[in-house]
């Protein structure tokens, strides 16, 4: 039995940073990883997908070059082998950087293998047993695979496997109209594939307000992406080299199918029952406001705890745990103001409540909307699709949430996110003097048009 001060299961975006802090303090820690350092973000999420988005954006700019007075002889083509090679380099460079960092920490051991509990504070890896008074679970999540008749018999893609694709699909059928599916749908359309999205609900990106979802749909349709909403999947088969996807209303045949209907936590094979750690019905590990499970000394960080599904929320889990366990702090998950982005082009930046959520929570609200066509920076760049939207409490003037669907929206949203974290009212934020010409400079103008609704 090898003894440590702390054991970390999974090398995603929370555990390793806490492990490194402990190791820097001289504590003996073990970091156990089943496959690759870096977790989803480095290997199958943010970094590779945004590298693909960048390649797709470049292809689109090249096609639109004449609009900017730039002449390109002939139509630009996309070398998918080169695109995939660029993505692999991004992944491998990030992994290598993490490996070098961890190697430099004298009191941290990196152990590769499948970890599982055999007792409350005992972990087995490759037949060896390890124990520690503190154990941190940071195992992330993976694509959910629906129980769809015939799916197991066709060569479908997931958000993980499609990253390594070196060929251009003739027709990519995307199952699911949420964030991951939408990003891949647009990028592969821009690479040159025909693309169809099949969504069960009545709107894309269902957590968003209807106006945002409709605008997203319009953006994709303008790029000749086929969008089918309100279609329930019925079955799938392969015939003549094509894959047929049947819904309750139609059949779509394509060369490739991407399954993007959601994600599930990687908790089903950890032996959590031997540790007595409780999970909810979806397999997420249940934690308190300080990220501890029902078992004292056992914590769950990142996607597997169901309290956030983003790299930045996973990293914030590290910050919360480090503050409370190492710095004498008292930070809580419930204090977090959630922001996130959807990386279609133009991107969506979101923070806080939607208008619908604010009403459901009982707020009397005031709202403001401003089209991106009236934003100077968008006009100058020739990218005027989308709009800005702000929601505030009509009684307290506190900002409740915002959405910026438009060029630079993923960056400009931080003007509102930071103000919310500081507890600023719209009256205070209105008198900021932002830089011109930027998208962010429109936030005070947006505030000036707030009206009770």
Question: pLDDT tens across 417-452, in order?
Answer: 999 999 999 999 999 999 999 999 999 999 999 999
For 113, phi then psi, to 5°, come to: 155, 175
Residue ranges of the chain that CATH labels 3.50.50.60: 2-143+264-335, 151-261
- Judged against a pLDDT cut of 90, whether residue 272 lies above it is answered with yes
State which H helix or E strand residue 206 sits in: none
Q: Please give the pLDDT value at position 1.
A: 87
Cα distances from 121 to residues 30, 112, 363, in angstroms, run 13, 19, 45
318-322 long-range Cβ contacts below 8 angstroms, 24+ apart:
318/13, 318/14, 318/15, 318/17, 318/18, 320/290, 320/291, 321/14, 321/18, 321/136, 321/290, 321/291, 322/17, 322/18, 322/21
Could you tell me the pLDDT band of residue 75, with boundaries at 50, 70 and 90?
Answer: confident
Closest C-alpha among 282, 285, 329 to residue 10: 285
Superfamily of domain 2-143+264-335: FAD/NAD(P)-binding domain (3.50.50.60)
Q: Report in angstroms the alpha-carbon separations of 131 from 7, 35, 118, 163, 265.
A: 7, 21, 10, 37, 24
Q: Which residues contact 410 (CB under 8 A, 6 or more apart)?
A: 341, 343, 347, 348, 349, 404
d(CA 406, CA 427): 24
Residue-level pLDDT at 390:
98
Q: Please state, rounded to an integer, the average pLDDT across all residues of the chain.
A: 97
What pLDDT was estimated at residue 240? 86
Could you report the per-residue pLDDT of 322-349, keeping only the tens digit for each?
A: 999 999 999 999 999 999 999 999 999 9
Please state, in angstroms and as integers, the Cα–Cα distance from residue 366 to each residue in 23, 287, 354, 355, 436, following that order.
49, 35, 12, 9, 26
Q: What is the per-residue pLDDT across 191-233, written as a single tens digit (0 to 9) for each?
A: 999 999 999 999 999 999 999 999 999 999 999 999 999 999 9
Q: CATH for 346-452, among 3.30.390.30, 3.40.50.850, 3.30.450.40, 3.40.50.720?
A: 3.30.390.30
Confidence class of residue 104 from pLDDT cuts 50, 70 and 90?
A: very high
What DSSP designation does 374 have? Answer: G
Cα–Cα nearest to 347, from 402, 415, 409: 409
Instruction: Find the mean pLDDT for residues 99-105.
Output: 95
- CATH 3.30.390.30 occupies which residues in the chain? 346-452
Residue 184's nearest CA partner among 264, 252, 253, 87 is 87
Q: Write down the pLDDT at residue 74.
A: 87
What's domain 151-261's superfamily in CATH? FAD/NAD(P)-binding domain (3.50.50.60)
């Amino acid at each position: 039995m090898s003894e440590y001060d702390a054991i970390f299961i999974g090398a995603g975006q929370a555990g390793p940073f806490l492990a490194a802090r402990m190791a820097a303090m001289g504590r003996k820690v073990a970091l156990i990883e089943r496959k690759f350092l870096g977790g989803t973000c480095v290997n199958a999420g943010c970094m590779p997908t945004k590298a693909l988005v960048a390649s797709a954006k470049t292809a689109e700019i090249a096609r639109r070059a004449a609009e900017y007075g730039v002449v390109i002889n002939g139509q630009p083509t996309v070398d998918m082998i080169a695109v995939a090679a660029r993505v692999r380099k991004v992944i491998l460079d990030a992994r290598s950087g993490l490996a070098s960092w961890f190697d430099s920490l004298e009191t941290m051991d990196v152990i590769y293998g499948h970890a599982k509990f055999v007792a409350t504070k005992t972990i087995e890896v490759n037949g060896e047993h390890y124990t520690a008074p503190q154990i941190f679970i940071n195992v992330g999540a993976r694509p959910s695979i629906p129980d769809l008749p015939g799916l197991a018999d066709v060569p479908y893609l997931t958000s993980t496997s499609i990253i390594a694709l070196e060929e251009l699909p003739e027709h990519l059928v995307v199952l699911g109209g949420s964030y991951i599916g939408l990003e891949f749908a647009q990028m592969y359309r821009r690479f040159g594939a025909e693309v169809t999205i099949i969504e069960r609900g009545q709107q894309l990106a269902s957590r968003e307000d209807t106006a945002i979802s409709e605008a997203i749909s319009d953006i994709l349709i303008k790029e000749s992406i086929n969008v089918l909403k309100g279609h329930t999947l019925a079955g799938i088969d392969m015939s003549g080299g094509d894959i047929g996807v049947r819904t309750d209303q139609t059949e779509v045949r394509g060369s490739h199918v991407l399954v993007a209907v959601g994600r599930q936590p990687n908790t089903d094979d950890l032996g959590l029952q031997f540790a007595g750690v409780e999970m909810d019905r979806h397999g997420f590990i249940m934690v308190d406001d300080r990220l501890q499970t029902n078992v004292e000394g056992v914590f769950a960080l990142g996607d597997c705890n169901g309290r956030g599904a983003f790299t930045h929320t996973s990293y914030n889990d590290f910050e919360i745990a480090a503050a409370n366990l190492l710095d004498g702090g008292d930070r809580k998950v419930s204090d977090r103001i959630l922001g996130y982005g959807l990386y279609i082009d133009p991107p969506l930046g979101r923070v806080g409540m939607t208008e619908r959520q604010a009403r459901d929570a009982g707020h009397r609200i005031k709202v403001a909307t401003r089209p991106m066509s009236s934003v100077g920076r968008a006009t100058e760049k020739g990218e005027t699709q989308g709009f800005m939207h702000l929601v505030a409490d009509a009684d307290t003037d506190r900002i409740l949430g915002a959405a910026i669907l438009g060029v630079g929206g993923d960056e400009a949203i931080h003007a509102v996110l930071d103000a919310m974290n500081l507890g600023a009212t719209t009256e205070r934020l209105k008198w900021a003097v932002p830089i011109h010409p930027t998208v962010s400079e429109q936030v005070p103008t947006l505030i000036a048009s707030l009206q009770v609704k």
